[in-house]
Amino acid sequence: MFRRCLHCLMALAPAYYLLPTELPVLGFDRWVLLIGFIFCVSLVESVRLLKGWTFFGLRPHERNQIASFVWAAAGVTAALWLFREDVATAAIIGWAIVDPLAGELRRVRPRSAVTIVVPVMVYVAVAVPVLYLWGTMSVLSVALVSVIGATTAVIAEREKIRYIDDDFLMIVLPCLMMEFFSF
C-alpha cells in the first residue's frame, strides 16, 4: 500500500510547469532541476546496486536490477522535458493513478475485464480535462487522443518487458502516441 500511495503522489510532478522557465534567484533555468533530479536518483540507485542495499518498498526482483522508482523518474523527466505540457501532464497524472489502480484490480479480480476497462476509463477521465483545459485541440481530438493515450498506457502496464519497467513505458509511450495523434 505504501508503494501505491507514493505512486499517486507522483501526480504532483507536473507542478514543475508552475516554475518560471528562468529561475533568477537560483541562477539557472528550470530544466536544470530535471537534470539534477534524474542525476540524483541515478546516483542513489547506482550506489544501492553497487553496495547491494535494499530498502523498504523495493520488490524482491528489484534487488539486483534497476528499481522501478528509477524508471519512473526517467519517464517523468523525459515527459516533462520532451513533450508538450498538456500531453506530459495527462500522461504523468494518468500513470500515477492508473498504474496502482490496475495493480489493485488485478490482485482482487485477476481474470476480469474490469482490470482493463476501469483503468482505461479512469485514464480517459484524467486525460480529457487536462488536454482540453491546457491544450489547443478540439473536443473531438481531445476525446480521441485521450482514448489512444489510455489504451497505450494500459497495454504498457499489462505487457511485461524484462528490462524496461512499466513505470517508464506507461509515461513515455502514451506521450509519444498522444503527440503523434494530436491534431
Q: H/E/C letters for each residue in 143-164? A: HHHHHHHHHHHHHHHHCCECCE
Query: Confidence class of residue 56 from pLDDT cuts 50, 70 and 90?
Result: confident
User: What does the pLDDT read at residue 176?
Assistant: 98
- DSSP label at residue 35: H
pLDDT of 49 strictly over 80: yes
Burial class (CB in 10 A: 0-12, 13-18, 19+), 134: middle
Query: Confidence class of residue 162 from pLDDT cuts 50, 70 and 90?
Result: confident
pLDDT of 115 strictly over 80: yes
The percent of residues above 90 in pLDDT, for the chain, comes to: 79
User: What does the pLDDT read at residue 86?
Assistant: 97
Determine the Cα–Cα distance for residues 137 and 17; give it in Å rounded to an integer: 19
Count, residues in the chain: 183
Residues 175 and 79: beta-carbon distance below 8 Å: yes
Residues 130 and 115: beta-carbon distance below 8 Å: no
pLDDT of 39 strictly over 90: yes
Nearest partner of 80 among 144, 44, 30, judged by Cα: 30
Mean of the pLDDT values across residues 86-94?
A: 98
pTM: 0.93
pLDDT of 1 strictly over 80: no
Mean of the pLDDT values across residues 131-156?
A: 96
- DSSP 3-state percent helix, strand, coil across the chain (nearest 5): 75, 5, 20
CA atoms within 13 A on the CB side of 91: 35
